[in-house]
Amino acid sequence: MRSRRSATAGPRPLDAADRAVKPAAFDYLRPGSVDEAVAQLARHGGDAKILAGGQSLVPLLNFRIVRPSVLVDINRLTALDFIEAHGDGLRIGALARHHTLETSLLVRERFPALAAAMRHVAHLAIRNRGTIGGSLSHADPAAELPMMALLLDAEIWTSGGRHAADGFFLGPLTTTLAEDELVTEIALPTLRPNTGWGFEEFSMRHGDFALAAVATTLTAADGKISEARLGTAGVGETPLRLRAVEAMLVGEPFTPELAAEAARLARAAVDPPSDLRASADYRRHLVAALMERALNDAWARAR
């Protein structure tokens, strides 16, 4: 037990308890290039973990839920920290921080739904550190970025090649990435002209993970919906695209009644979990309410 000290006493020497850290011991590597990082990952196999923003990994380390023997810190790979125009689409480096996505003029102009979604990711201090590559690799089912990648038909480029976002997320915290594969950049293809968007999220407090979130784009042509995309987060083991509801909307003239019908179908299409924060039925209710709003917003913006 520590003895009591007077407020005026000088600094107390560190004891063993002070020196103990929360995570299990690990070796720390800081590669200077993508090739070096991949070589280090390959050398240590499943024992190594990439450290990007650390906003998901460090809590897992502190609780000793993960105990890698090696951390490969990629924060020196500054070539992966970029946002660039690519045709009318965008290329985003894996180390682009959430707050950079939120405030980038290019993102706001070309993918305003993405900029809007970023404001719902945690708190500013976390958004200053968290990276797009980390969020997609971590694959939290309630996270905004995986849903947006799926909605926007993103391509996820890695040291091993290209993954379509559709099919990348296999389950909670599980993707198709190999143990020694490093996400390097994300490509967002051009949206068609006259495409509007909607984003809605409900969480217990601002900055919490979503109980349910939805995102949608609608493209207008000749007064009808020519393309529809509907995504959800927090209501399944992975983010979802509601393809059957999208197909029902295409070719139809938009009406508020059609949005309400699509929202009812969206509610029936999801199979959310029940947990301490919300029942499955409440989450289904949220999907319907949020989707109806998002579809009306998307159509208003499409025109």
Find the binding residues for ligand FAD in span 171-210 (CB under 6 A).
177, 182-183, 209
Sheet holding 70-73, edge to edge: 27-29, 70-73, 48-51
At residue 26, what is the residue type?
F
Candidate list 51, 212, 230, 302; residue touching ligand FAD; CB under 6 A: 51
Tokens of 24: 């299990």
Candidate list 116, 145, 152, 302; residue touching ligand FAD; CB under 6 A: 145
DSSP conformational letter for 224: E
Rank residues 142 and 245 by Cβ distance to ligand FAD and give the closer one.
142
Q: Is 93 in the site for ligand FAD (CB under 6 A)?
A: no
Q: Is 259 in the site for ligand FAD (CB under 6 A)?
A: no
Q: Which stretch binds ligand FAD (CB under 6 A): 54-62, 102-110, 149-157, 269-277?
A: 54-62
Candidate list 29, 38, 52, 151; residue touching ligand FAD; CB under 6 A: 52
Q: Is 53 in the site for ligand FAD (CB under 6 A)?
A: yes
Rank residues 120 and 284 by Cβ distance to ligand FAD and give the closer one.
120
Q: Can you say how many angstroms the Cα of residue 147 is from the centroid of all Cα atoms in its chain? A: 7
Q: Buried b / exposed e across 92-115, counting CB within 10 Å, b at 16+?
A: bbbbbbbbbbbebeebeebbebbb
Rank residues 136 and 228 by Cβ distance to ligand FAD and give the closer one.
136
The answer to whether residues 155 and 162 touch, using CB atoms and an 8 Å cutoff, is yes
At residue 159, what is the residue type?
S
Q: Is 50 in the site for ligand FAD (CB under 6 A)?
A: yes
Candidate list 135, 195, 238, 296; residue touching ligand FAD; CB under 6 A: 135
The closest of 30, 153, 150, 149 to 94, measured between CA atoms, is 149
Q: Is 130 in the site for ligand FAD (CB under 6 A)?
A: yes
Q: What number of other Cβ atoms are within 10 A of residue 27's Cβ? A: 13
Cα dihedral 173, 178, 182, 188, rounded to 10, equals -70
Which parts of this chain interact with ligand FAD (CB under 6 A)?
A: 49-57, 59, 94, 121-122, 126, 129-131, 133-135, 137-138, 140, 143-145, 177, 182-183, 209
